[in-house]
Amino acid sequence: FHLYLDSADLGALRTCLPHPVVHGVTTNPTLLKRAGVTWEALPGLLTALLRLGAQQVQAQVRSPDVDGMLADADTLLRQFDPGQLVVKIPATRAGLAAGAALTARGVPVTYTAVYALEQAHFAAQLGAAYAAPYLGRLNDSGVDGLALIDRMQALVAASGTPMRLLVASIRSRQAYLDLLALGVGSITIPPALFTELMDHEATIAAERGFLADAAE
């Protein structure tokens, strides 16, 4: 199972990393904008995250066409060792074509903004490393996101490929637990939710008692 932090906010990420349950960090242009990180500053942020203990970072292309996506990917890839960086590409018509070209070169790809079963299937067919459905946004659109992701998970398992679902747009602990029950291969969560999952008040209180007793 791969757990990711979904953020470009270095300050927030520093409160979570390093930690052995975290595999890596996912970003996208919206998260970068929110954190005030420019495209030019993105490699620096990713380098800092690797130094902070992320085993892998995921960064997204910013162009809508195949050539632009491939140029964006190469700009990022040339600054990292193989395997450190996964290239995120929206699962558009052009995105699937650009991703296939990267996969042919051995570059790990995440198809993102996956909203439909067939997109997850295309991703597996093209040898993607990950396909990222957005649970919260699916629910926002009136679809039963969990039920759809359950069907995607069955389809991925049946595909016989090593591709994992990387479920994003997770807004609550319950959503995280529901996804674990489906057996999805990876989930990306905001740092605030990570803190909620890590720091249980009852456990902290129990430890406080143990520490007090140990000190007597």
Q: Interacting stretch for ligand E4P, rule CB under 6 A, among 70-78, 155-163, 168-176, 194-202? A: 168-176
- Say whether residue 130 binds ligand E4P (CB under 6 A): no
C-alpha dihedral, 179 to 181 to 186 to 188, nearest 10°: 30
Give me the amino acid identity at 18: P
Which one, 66 or 132, has the nearer CB to ligand E4P? Answer: 132
Handedness of CA 12, 14, 20, 25 (dihedral sign): positive
Least Å from the CB of residue 86 to ligand E4P: 12
d(CA 101, CA 116): 22
- Say whether residue 176 binds ligand E4P (CB under 6 A): no
d(CA 116, CA 138): 9
- Say whether residue 32 binds ligand E4P (CB under 6 A): no
Which one, 33 or 200, has the nearer CB to ligand E4P? Answer: 33
d(CA 136, CA 67): 31
d(CA 190, CA 194): 6
56, 110, 153, 169: residue in contact with ligand E4P (rule CB under 6 A): 169
Strand, helix or coil at 76?
helix
121, 137, 155, 159: residue in contact with ligand E4P (rule CB under 6 A): 137
- Say whether residue 171 binds ligand E4P (CB under 6 A): yes
- Say whether residue 23 binds ligand E4P (CB under 6 A): no
- Say whether residue 185 binds ligand E4P (CB under 6 A): no
8 Å CB contact between 31 and 213: no
> Which spans of this chain sit near ligand E4P (rule: CB under 6 A)?
6, 28, 31, 112, 134, 136-137, 168-169, 171
